Amino acid sequence: MAPNKTVIPLLFIIIGEAMIFHGLVAYGIAIHILNLFFIYLLIIKKEDDAALMQKSSLLPLLRIVSIAMPVFPTTLYWYLLVCGAILPAIYVIIKMQRLTYNELGIGSISPKYIPVSIVIGFFVALIEHQIINPVPLLSRIDINNIDNIIIFILIMIVVASVEEVMFRSLIQTAFEQKYGAHYGLLMTSVLYGVMHSGYGSGSEIAFGILAGLILGRIFQKTRSLPFVVMIHGFEEIFLFSNMFALQIQQ
């Protein structure tokens, strides 16, 4: 397979996200749809990089689903439905490529990683909060509040798990196998940042690239999906609580 055939879908993803970033949503979605057709054509032709293309197809599919998903009064519902809609595609890829738990990074996690994941998640959330200042999903972090516990579980299990399986277990691993550890990490991190274009903030894209580098490097060193899921999950929980706002007010 010629190298340019592998790169073209990645360039289309970046171009489509650039269109969305500049408010040209319809054009961006059109590019993502055309890109999906191109990727599926490569897969049908059973090119050498068909497995990599299958995993890369998750990105335009994710954007199409996220744009098409109705807006809900509670942002959490939107997150959950988008992740739920992308789950079947992830499952099919895992089954078709016969990926093992070990290849996905799924295994037991050392208890010492738990406090580390909380600390990293907190500081990552603190940085991102300064950039996007999101609407809180949690009024306060209170383990005695059943609503907070439910939201905690949903964010940790559904949202963080889906994103990390997609970006770390599937896409990053595929790029590492094709381009090597360093280039694979860099390419995945750039795509991870670019997929934050929906916020309409260049700073958020830059932050996404940085976060992708951090999570990706941790995954490279530990090959522990649960560890990066916990970091991501705690980051989302801290980010979408109003604890930072309360600290500022005080």
User: Averaged in consecutive runs of 10 residues, what is the pLDDT profile of the chain (250 residues)?
Assistant: 71 96 95 95 81 94 92 74 92 95 90 93 90 69 64 77 96 94 96 92 93 96 95 87 53
Say if residue 224 is in the same domain as residue 133. yes
- Residue 143 CA, chain-centre distance (Å), reads 26
Q: Are residues 196 and 111 in the same domain?
A: yes
In this prediction, residue 239 carries a pLDDT of 82
DSSP state of 159: I
Q: Would you state the pLDDT for residue 130?
A: 85
pLDDT of residue 61: 96
Residues 47 and 146 in one domain: no
Q: Do 184 and 242 share a domain, yes or no?
A: yes
* Structure confidence at residue 249 (pLDDT): 42
Confidence at residue 250, expressed as pLDDT on a 0 to 100 scale: 43
Helix, strand, or coil (residue 206): helix
Same domain, yes or no, for 135 and 234? yes
The predicted structure's pLDDT at residue 46: 73
Token pair recorded at residue 195: 């997929």
Termini Cα distance of the chain = 59
pLDDT of residue 213: 97
Q: What is the pLDDT of residue 143?
A: 55
**Same domain, residue pair 41 and 111:** no
Shared-domain flag, residues 3 and 51 = yes
- Residue 16 is classified by DSSP as H
pLDDT of residue 122: 93
The CA-CA-CA angle for residues 110, 89, 76, to 5°, reads 70
Task: Let me know if residue 79 belongs to a domain.
Answer: no
Do residue 63 and residue 100 come from a single domain?
Answer: no
Give the domain range for residue 44: 1-68
Instruction: Judge whether 81 lies within some domain.
Output: no
pLDDT confidence of residue 2: 43
The verdict on 126 and 197 lying in the same domain is: yes
Q: What is the pLDDT of residue 147?
A: 67
* Model pLDDT, residue 7: 87
